[in-house]
Amino acid sequence: QVQLVESGGGLVQPGGSLRLSCAASGSIFSIKVMGWYRQSAGNQRELVATINNDDIPNYADPVKGRFTISRDNAKNTVYLQMNSLKPEDTAVYYCNVEGEYRDYPGHFGSWGQGTQVTVSS
């Protein structure tokens, strides 16, 4: 199995910054795509950003120019640097990792437990 542990959420004022981290562990042979999604109250979960194993990022339009996704392959960790935060960024942020199992045949897609980000004055 593969486990994801997220950290870094919290309360921040508009215009502030936060950095989220998500570390993957367990039966991992390789990781293909790592990403962040978010879900605000009353809304569906939506893509924030992804990064593939060529380090090519992809961002949702609302966060372009403000958020930066990165990964540390040696640590199986993905980061989300969030700058110029707005109240509409308030949501539970989930990381997602897709890859190949080390000890089992096939691929996995795992979700983190979610971390709350609240942007408010």
**What integer pLDDT is reported at residue 12 of this predicted model?**
98
Beta-carbon-side half-sphere exposure of residue 59 (alpha carbons within 13 Å): 13
Block means of pLDDT (10 residues each) for the chain, 121 residues, are 94 98 94 97 97 96 98 96 98 96 90 97 95
> Which among 88, 96, 90, 91 has a CA at the least distance from the CA of 113?
96
Place of tokens 């293909």: 32
Output the pLDDT for position 104: 85
**Given this model, what pLDDT does residue 56 score?**
97
**1 neighbors 99 (Cβ within 8 angstroms):** no
